[in-house]
């Protein structure tokens, strides 16, 4: 039988050229240029190359898809390269419309997408103004257009938008702040340590169907509620007073105040009672806590919350804030003043703030806050062994309601700023545009919604140095030397203080000496023997005025 020949299987090899050599270089080059394998095969077989629409039907679907992808890829690469060249060369310049054109467009039905795109372009130009600006246009022109567009986009009046632009000079940060004002803050609660602990409360609420977590590393009583199957304000734990629905920002002033058990504390603007109950829990229901509010309707809310939370060391009053300075001067160890303000830090709660606030309203708030902070300083006792502190706070981010008010208090009372004791927050302003504040204003703390994810807030802590009223000659002393030692030394060596002490000393000597006994006074102004009552003219206040005193 003849043997059958075995068929040899041919191995797959790379394409060969006409001479029979492997075309590795050409195949590799086609891969580097991004051409598909089908293109290479077509180049090897010109007779099968597609040349017209009639032959396009002969292409396989995968070949058509490959060609389309190659075209799209090359087109995108060219566009990216051209855009990159323009950015590198700085040749892309946005043509800014005039203010009249923008106003005309905004009066008509505005196109929000056009406004948004224009804001984006203007922000980019201001970020690299020297290279991107249009010839003949100043920075003020771009800022004016940006102000109008932001007012239209976010719904603010021009006054408030200008204030925010001054507060945040970087447009990108300004837009982050404006976006944060339109976003709702997470729901947070404060554990009432008079009745429970945070861990036990969290377990109970989780069993009720709540998703809770510790709110922040800087608070030991706060919890954040992500979602809940039951209303947060209607659980048995809430009705039993185990927690209070309260923003994290309202915990900060009480932490700065740091009340101690047995203290005598005044909460000057207490409604609705969240901060008051927090103070009571830190005092462990000892001492005396005065909760005051000028609004009678809100006082009822304070009473209800204090009863629910188990606070029994509090007295609720309905008085004007400055009345306590008259009723109980120097009568408290610590005073908390959460002053009424414009609410520019909690705009997400009240959108009407965007259009209702103007310069007159801010000025009225500023005047009221100055009166209240002076009353708070008059009500606190500088001689308290572990107190003498006033904490001033607002839910506003405007400088006129914060640093300007505290700086006024430093000039009008014997006090100094001390560290707040808070681990979070940015420093307050000691210089802001035309304002020049006391250097110690850097000890205050500011909070922003886009930075700390809490409501906009301000906290300052002051230490009262003396219960005496400040004279005109002492204002500059406090303004430039705010330490206690320098302050007391300056008062002792001042001409006004020395003259008053000398007159008081002489009056006491005259009162105690008999009229018929001669004596020699140690003071240079009274070195004659006092053999009989007579009248002498004494220099008072060191300013040329004289008064008659019987000696």
Instruction: Establish whether 275 is an annotated binding residue.
Output: yes
Instruction: Establish whether 269 is an annotated binding residue.
Output: yes
Instruction: Establish whether 182 is an annotated binding residue.
Output: no
Residues 447/249, Cβ–Cβ less than 8 Å: yes
DSSP 85-126: HHHHHT-----PPPHHHHHHHHHS---HHHHHHHHHHHHHHH
Instruction: Establish whether 34 is an annotated binding residue.
Output: no
Residues 461/417, Cβ–Cβ less than 8 Å: yes
Helical (H) or strand (E) element with 437 = none
- φ, ψ of residue 334 in degrees (nearest 5): -145, 145
Instruction: Establish whether 293 is an annotated binding residue.
Output: yes
Instruction: Establish whether 41 is an annotated binding residue.
Output: no
Residues 6+ apart with CB under 8 A from 347: 181, 182, 353, 354
Residues 188/246, Cβ–Cβ less than 8 Å: yes
Instruction: Establish whether 273 is an annotated binding residue.
Output: yes
What are all long-range contacts of 495-504, with beta carbons under 8 Å and residues at least 24 apart? 495/542, 496/471, 496/541, 496/542, 499/539, 499/540, 499/541, 499/542, 503/538, 503/540, 503/549
Residues 194/310, Cβ–Cβ less than 8 Å: yes
Residues 6+ apart with CB under 8 A from 284: 194, 261
- 387 to each of 36, 448, 453, 482, how far by Cα in Å? 82, 29, 32, 18
Which two tokens mark 158?
A: 């021009």
Instruction: Establish whether 271 is an annotated binding residue.
Output: yes
What counts of helices (H) and strands (E) characterise the chain? 23, 17
Distance CA 502, CA 525 (A): 10
Using the structure block, give the residue that is written with the tokens 């008072």.
Answer: 540
Distance CA 230, CA 360 (A): 44
Residues 403/444, Cβ–Cβ less than 8 Å: yes
CA atoms in the 13 A half-sphere facing the CB of 274 = 20
Residue ranges with strand state E in 344-430: 389-394, 415-418, 426-427
Helical (H) or strand (E) element with 36 = none
Q: Return the active site residues.
A: 395
Instruction: Establish whether 421 is an annotated binding residue.
Output: no
Query: What's the alpha-carbon Rg for the chain, to the nearest Å?
Result: 38
Distance CA 394, CA 399 (A): 11
Q: Which residues are annotated as a binding site?
A: 269-275, 293, 338
Q: Which residues are annotated as a binding site for S-adenosyl-L-methionine?
A: 269-275, 293, 338
């Amino acid at each position: 039988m003849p043997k059958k020949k075995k068929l040899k299987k041919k191995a797959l090899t790379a394409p060969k050229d006409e001479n029979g050599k492997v075309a590795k270089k050409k195949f590799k080059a086609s891969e580097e240029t991004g051409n598909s394998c089908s293109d290479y095969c077509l180049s090897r077989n010109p007779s099968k190359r597609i040349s017209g629409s009639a032959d396009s039907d002969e292409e396989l679907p995968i070949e058509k898809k490959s060609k389309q992808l190659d075209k799209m890829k090359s087109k995108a690469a060219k566009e990216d390269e051209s855009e990159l060249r323009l950015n590198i060369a700085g040749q892309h310049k946005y043509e800014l419309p005039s203010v009249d054109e923008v106003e005309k467009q905004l009066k008509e039905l505005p196109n929000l997408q056009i406004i948004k795109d224009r804001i984006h372009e203007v922000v980019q130009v201001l970020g690299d103004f020297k290279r991107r600006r249009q010839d003949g246009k100043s920075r003020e022109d771009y800022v004016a257009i940006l102000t109008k567009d932001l007012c239209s986009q976010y719904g603010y009046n021009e006054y408030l938008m200008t204030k925010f632009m001054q507060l945040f000079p970087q447009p990108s940060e300004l837009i982050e702040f404006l976006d944060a004002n339109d976003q709702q803050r997470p729901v947070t609660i404060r554990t009432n340590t008079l009745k429970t602990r945070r861990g036990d409360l969290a377990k109970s609420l989780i069993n009720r169907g709540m998703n809770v977590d510790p709110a922040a590393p800087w608070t030991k009583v706060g919890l954040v509620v992500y979602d809940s199957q039951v209303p947060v304000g209607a659980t048995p734990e809430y009705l039993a007073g185990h927690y209070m629905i309260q923003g994290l920002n309202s915990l900060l002033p009480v932490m700065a105040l740091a009340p101690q058990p047995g203290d005598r504390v005044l909460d000057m603007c207490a409604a609705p009672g969240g901060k008051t109950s927090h103070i009571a829990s830190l005092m462990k229901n000892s001492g005396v806590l005065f909760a005051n509010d000028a609004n009678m309707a809100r006082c009822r809310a304070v009473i209800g919350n204090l009863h629910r939370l188990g606070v029994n060391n509090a007295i609720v009053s309905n008085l004007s804030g400055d009345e306590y300075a008259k009723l109980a001067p120097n009568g408290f160890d610590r005073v908390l003043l959460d002053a009424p303000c414009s609410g520019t830090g909690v705009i997400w709660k009240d959108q009407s703030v965007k259009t209702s606030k103007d310069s007159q309203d801010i000025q009225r708030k500023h005047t009221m806050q100055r009166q209240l902070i002076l009353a708070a300083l008059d009500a606190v006792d500088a001689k308290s062994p572990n107190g003498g502190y006033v904490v001033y706070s607002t839910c506003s981010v405007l400088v006129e309601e914060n640093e300007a008010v505290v700086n006024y208090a430093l000039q009008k009372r014997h006090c100094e700023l001390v560290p707040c004791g808070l681990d979070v927050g940015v420093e307050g302003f000691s210089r802001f545009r035309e304002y020049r504040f006391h250097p110690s204003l850097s000890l205050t703390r500011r909070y922003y919604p886009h930075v700390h994810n809490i409501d906009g807030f301000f906290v300052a802590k002051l230490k009262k140095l003396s219960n005496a009223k400040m004279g005109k000659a002492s204002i500059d002393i406090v303004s430039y030397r705010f330490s206690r030692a320098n302050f007391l030394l300056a008062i002792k060596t001042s001409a006004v203080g020395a003259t008053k002490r000398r007159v008081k000393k002489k009056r006491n000597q005259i009162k105690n000496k008999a009229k018929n006994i001669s004596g020699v006074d140690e003071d240079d102004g009274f070195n004659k023997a006092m053999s009989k009552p007579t009248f002498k003219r004494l220099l008072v206040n060191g300013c040329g005025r004289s008064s008659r005193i019987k000696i």
